[in-house]
Amino acid sequence: MTASLTVRFVDSEQAIPATLWEACLPPPLEGRWWYAALEQSGLEEQFVFRYAVLCDGARPVGIAPFFLMDVPLDIVVPEVLLPLAKGLGHVFPALRHQRTLFVGSPCADEGSIGLLPEVDRREAFFVLQQALDREARRSGCPMLVWKDFPDAYAPDMRWLAARTGLFPMVSFPGTVAALPGPTMEDFFSAMKGTRRRQLKKKLRVSTASVAIDTQVIQHPDAPTLAEIFALFWKTYEHAQTKFERLDMAFFTAISRLPLAHFITLRHADTGEMLAFMLCFDMGERVINKYIGLDYGRPKEWSLYFRLWEAVVTWSLSRGARMIQSGQTGYAPKMEMGHTLVPLSNYCKHRNHIIHTIYKLVAKHITWDTLDPVLRHYTHETTVPK
């Protein structure tokens, strides 16, 4: 291992040259635009955003976004293991809300480390881990986690884990839907027959039950943004798994981005907004980030599926080849043509006893323990290109 790389820490995306952002985290990754929006969103009570800049001499050659968070026990521990974790919390009270340094983003679909092409990944990861260990100690974080890294990182992360004491832990998988051709029928044809028939039936029943107008909105005005946020909040309260808590400041910041599109459904007669999905147009990939639904509407309206139809239609019109839809909510996503993307966390606790316990517990964490719904879809995986 050479000593040519060093790490410096900065507190804002603005402290990193725009050219480095563009070279290290280009589309379809969430890049500078994403972190700028997060910094403007008033999330300081939940997260402290920071960035590790890797340098070769005086020249910056890589970016590793990270954040600090006080993590409630019931967020990170699978339900089946909560009794054990709560028992540990009684013995070690600090575990109930554990200060953690996460490598990655609280709101991105996957963890990413951006490096210039000539940088040796393993050297960079090793130097980065050493620097983050020191930063975690300085910041009072006993736990360090590389969050939600895809399989493309696995060989280098296994190498790093063997040398630094990290242990792997299965994370909630991501989801993607391939768009194999330019038409909606191409999308339907690629689905399993039973799912295709069920989805088309839901759409037929919905169309017969309610007339809906679809709009694609950029830079929504204040009243429209208020409607969007009200639907988002209904969905947030409805969700079983909650990590980040977003408010109107986030939606105001994100709505200014040229990449951001709000696909909305309105009742054709009353004009009421029924559903929305926030999507980012990243070229051949669309990132489906957040949704909002009016859960008080009749079930036969199938608003989620009507919204998905509108998003696929819009994505195809933009020339996209894939829609990335993130974690959780697996059953309806699989019905709508998604496959699963394996993701992993790599973890280390400064207390050797707790580290050993966590390492043993991690060996028993599977998709089934994270979400029992996933046992039906274990073999439906893919690796996005």
Mark whether 239 and 366 lie in a shared domain.
Answer: no
Q: pLDDT tens for residues 296-351?
A: 999 999 999 999 999 999 999 999 999 999 998 899 999 999 999 999 999 999 99
Mark whether 335 and 354 lie in a shared domain.
Answer: no
Mark whether 22 and 159 lie in a shared domain.
Answer: yes
In a domain, 384, yes or no: no
pLDDT value, residue 369: 86
Rounded distance, CA 47 to CA 80, Å? 27
Angle at 141 between CA 137 and CA 145, to 5 degrees: 105
Domain span at residue 280 reads: 175-340
pLDDT value, residue 1: 46
Mark whether 67 and 46 lie in a shared domain.
Answer: yes
Mark whether 335 and 347 lie in a shared domain.
Answer: no
Mark whether 185 and 149 lie in a shared domain.
Answer: no
Token digits of residue 248: 């109107």
Q: Are 68 and 50 in contact (CB under 8 A)?
A: yes
Mark whether 9 and 127 lie in a shared domain.
Answer: yes
Residue numbers of the chain with a pLDDT score lower than 50? 1-2
Total number of domains constituting the chain: 2
Give pTM, 2 decimals: 0.90
Q: pLDDT tens for residues 265-299?
A: 999 999 999 999 999 999 999 999 999 999 999 99
Which strands sit side by side in the sheet containing 260-267, from one edge to the other?
212-217, 260-267, 273-281, 285-293, 322-324, 174-178, 339-341
Mark whether 166 and 185 lie in a shared domain.
Answer: no
Rounded distance, CA 147 to CA 67, Å? 10
In a domain, 381, yes or no: no
Which CATH number is 269's domain given?
Answer: 3.40.630.30
